[in-house]
Amino acid sequence: MFTASPLDLDLQLLLNQQWRAAALDAILPVFSMRAALFMLLAGLLVWRSALRGKGQVIYFIALVLAMGVTDLTCNAVKHAVERVRPQHTVTGTYFQESGQWLRLPADHEPRDTGTSFPSAHAANSMAAAVLAMCLWPRLRRGLWALPLVVGWSRVYLGKHYPSDVVAGWLLGAFIGWCFWQAWKRLAPRLTLAVLPDDLYRPFLLPPPDCR
């Protein structure tokens, strides 16, 4: 277990306690919902399958596997480090419980262990974003913002310190990049297109020679 550095604590206080607004209270918790991320992936799968066929499924399986490996790695590190979350240790931290916003009182009971470092949400979203941007290069213009907002939401919700989020981003980016390197070597052996956009469009466009 380790405590927050002065800079880490200052950023946590800034993002969690000072930069608050009613709109953020409503919006940012959505980015911390795993169900929302998987609904987004499901929607993208349906859209991409309509454009390029059912073969798109294999690429989304790769995304889910990358997030799964990232999540398992984060859990292993969390239990080894045992850092206490700010919502359990930093007085005045805003956090949600049963959908209600609360603040940690000054007379709170301190905890000895926790699961704050690193942020699995930040890591999972970064792994998915990095791999997706490699598979679909056109997404690079905007997809990078997803892990940034997810990381912000975790600090805003009092679940993590900024250093937890940064560590999650780095871990997720590394695992996402490793999956991309592995996929580039594995796809040709499986006679699959490396990039999903190289697949044929069976539904929306006819074959080139069709009259």
> pLDDT band at 130, cuts 50/70/90?
very high
> pLDDT band at 199, cuts 50/70/90?
low
Which pLDDT score is estimated for 139? 80
Checking if the pLDDT of 21 tops 60, the result is yes
The stretch 53-67 carries a mean pLDDT of: 88
**29 within some domain:** no
CB 29 within 8 A of CB 186: no
Compute the C-alpha angle 6/10/13, nearest 5°: 140
**14 within some domain:** no
**211 within some domain:** no
Domain range for 142: 46-198
**74 within some domain:** yes
CB 24 within 8 A of CB 156: yes
The radius of gyration computed from the CA coordinates of the chain, to the nearest angstrom, equals 20
Which pLDDT score is estimated for 124? 96
User: What's the pTM?
Assistant: 0.89
**123 within some domain:** yes
**55 within some domain:** yes
* Phi and psi, residue 124, nearest 5°: -65, -45
CB 70 within 8 A of CB 127: yes
Checking if the pLDDT of 141 tops 90, the result is no
Q: How many CA atoms lie within 13 A of 99 on its CB side?
A: 0
**Dist CA 168 CA 164 (whole Å):** 6
Checking if the pLDDT of 38 tops 90, the result is no
**85 within some domain:** yes
**Number of domains making up the chain:** 1
Instruction: Tally helices (H) and strands (E) across the chain.
Output: 7, 2
**19 within some domain:** no
CB 115 within 8 A of CB 85: yes
C-alpha distances in Å from residue 52, one per residue of 11, 38, 45, 196, 203: 44, 20, 10, 8, 7
Q: Higher-confidence residue: 31 or 200?
A: 31
Collapsed DSSP state (helix, strand, coil) of residue 7:
helix
